[in-house]
Structure 1
Amino acid sequence: MNDMSDWKPKRFWKQAAVAETAEGYAVELDGRPVRTPAKAPLLLPTRALAEAIAAEWDAQESEVDPINMPFTRTANAAIDKVRIQQAEVADMLAAYGDSDLLCYRADSPAELVELQAQTWDPALDWAAETLGVRLRPVQGVMHQPQPASAIETLTRKVHALNPFQLAAFHDLVSLSGSLVLGFAAALNWRKADEIWQISRLDETWQEEQWGPDDEARALAAVKRAAFLHAKAAYDIST
């Protein structure tokens, strides 16, 4: 969840450093605190996140390039976007649980049906054990609602996240198409890259049947990098 638009000032500082304040951790450029694009103070909940952001600023050369500053972009989104509409963002992400990728299964061919069950059922079992919700898989693409009690439980868990966690969690869920896999990544069910591959099962299957598509592969690589960054951002925002 990122937005730094075309904001590219020249580098004017010699050193970026972390400063601890009463409100959290700040990043300072030669002693001057960094602000978000909306001019809010860039105050972080953990030293680890502040240090990651300071390292990004230190790595800039003659011109600031937001593309190379993913932790900064995520923090900006948390402060300028998520924090001011936190309940709405949480509700939007919780809604993925009612149409979770893992619950919509093919009815043919038999090999794909079996592969989906073998790959996705363990994630649903994990959600039942760890999150306390049992989502029901269905065949086809027509929406079939999940139990209201399960969605209520998942909604409470999403609302419990702080704005910085929620900004990262937004990408874990939206990129994978699965609330369950978002939680699975956040809570370390398996390695983030393995969870990403689980979310790509259908695309991988299609590629194996029809051959690779260079454009689709390039887009998938960008999304994978964003997913892995979101996991790292979630971890150091906690």
Structure 2
Amino acid sequence: MPRFRLTTYLRDTFGVEDPRSFRLCGMDEVGRGSYAGPLVAAAVVLPPRFRHPLLRDSKLLSARQRELVGAVIRRRALAWVVAEISAADINRRGLGWANVEVFRRLVDLVDADGYCCDGRLRINATRTVHCLVKGDNLVPAISAASIVAKVHRDAIMTAMHDDAPHYNWASNKGYGAREHRDAIRTHGPHPQHRTVFIDNMLQLDLTFDTASPADLDAAALDVAAIEDASLEAASV
């Protein structure tokens, strides 16, 4: 596979001849697979030749590293913005709708020459959005967006922890850690939980002790198929 070059990507995708004068808006989301809390996405327009040793996919950084580089990004970015879709809206309209809608909102909030995001979504927005698989590792503006979104959402989940400390959201950030699943069984779901997603995933978890590996694989595929179908419908 040929090595990825940002200048080539900008030329081939956006017809850019001089990257220094092109305002590229990178976007990424965080929290899609979480059991609780909002879906959060960020958009960032970086200045030309922006460099930082920690600028990469947020999942590859520690919390402290994300906070450090996130502060630099927010200070030096030409533009940055965060959008949220609440758990209540996700429960009402679906995760597929939310994953597309959050990017639509970002496009409306940021004025740029071109827009790109991580993943495979088809986003019908007021401006064309180009999606790139592994974009959070390849395009600096998407990497920056992933960091800003992650720092923002982590802060939300830490604040939510005080309202329901038995779920330990300050630590698990709403994701499906064993302690979180056990707390849901003990205390029931909270209004901040994504009910349909939890129902599917807990059903898989509850059958873990008795199901065969083939049964577990089939159940996992069913959950993935439901989510993928929802994303496909929302992106059209």
User: Aligning the two structures, in what range does the TM-score lie when normalised by the shorter sequence?
Assistant: under 0.3
- In our comparison, the structure showing a higher alpha carbon Rg is 1
When normalised by structure 1's length, the TM-score is 0.23
Q: Which has the higher contact order (CA 8 A, sep 6+)?
A: 2
Q: Which has the higher strand share?
A: 2
With normalisation by structure 2, the TM-score equals 0.23
Pick the structure with more helix per residue.
1
